[in-house]
Amino acid sequence: MTSMKTKLLVVGGGPGGYVAAIRAGQLGIDTVLVEADRLGGTCLNVGCIPSKALIHVATRFAQMSDGTGLADIGIKRTTAPSLDLARTMGWKDGVVERLNRGIAGLLKRAKVTVVKGWGVFSDAKTCTVATADGPVVITAEHVILATGATPVALPALPFGDRVMSSTEALSLRELPASVAVVGGGYIGLELGIAFRKLGSAVTIIEAQDRLLSLYDAELVAPVARWLDDHGVAVHLGAKASGVAVGGLQIMPRDGSAQTVIADRILVTAGRRARIEGWGLETMGVDLAGGFVAVDDRCATSMHRVWAIGDLVGEPMLEHKAATQGHMVAEIIAGHARRFDPVAIAAVCFTEPEIVSVGLSPGQAAAAGLETIIASFPFTANGRALSTGSSEGFVRVVARKDNHRLLGIQAVGGHIAELSGEFALALEMGAVLEDIAGTIHVHPTLGEAFHESTLRAMSHANQF
* φ, ψ (nearest 5 deg) of residue 98: -65, -45
Residue 428 contacts residue 419 (beta carbons within 8 Å)? no
Question: What's the burial of 147, exposed, middle or buried (CB within 10 Å: 0-12/13-18/19+)?
Answer: buried
Task: Specify the DSSP element, H or E, that contains 354.
Answer: strand 353-358
Q: Can you list the positions of beta strands (E) in 262-338?
A: 264-267, 271-273, 287-288, 291-292, 305-307
DSSP 8-state secondary structure symbol assigned to residue 200? -
Give the list of residues 6+ apart from residue 34 with CB closer than 8 angstroms, or none.
9, 10, 11, 12, 13, 114, 115, 116, 117, 119, 127, 129, 138
Over the range 240-268, which residues count as b (16 or more CB within 10 Å of their CB) and which as e? Answer: beebbeebbbbbeeeeeeeebebbbbbbb
Residue 178 contacts residue 263 (beta carbons within 8 Å)? yes
Question: 303, 335, 414, 442: which one is catalytic?
Answer: 442
| Spatial distance between the Cα atoms of 193 and 196, rounded to a whole number of angstroms | 5
User: Residue 213: helix, strand or coil by DSSP?
Assistant: coil
The sign one gets for the Cα dihedral 27, 28, 34, 35 is positive
The identity of residue 175, as a single letter, is: L
> In whole angstroms, how far apart are CA 99 and each of 22, 40, 72, 87, 443?
15, 8, 38, 19, 32
The sign one gets for the Cα dihedral 145, 149, 150, 155 is positive
Name the nearest CA neighbour of 354 among 201, 451, 211.
Answer: 211
User: Residue 189: helix, strand or coil by DSSP?
Assistant: helix
Inter-helix orientation angle 186-198/217-229, to 10°: 20
Residue 445 C-beta-side C-alpha neighbours within 13 Å: 24
| Spatial distance between the Cα atoms of 145 and 375, rounded to a whole number of angstroms | 42
| Spatial distance between the Cα atoms of 442 and 89, rounded to a whole number of angstroms | 37
Active-site annotation holds for 442: yes
> In whole angstroms, how far apart are CA 84 and each of 49, 91, 214, 248, 434?
20, 11, 35, 27, 49
**Which residues participate in catalysis according to the annotation?**
442
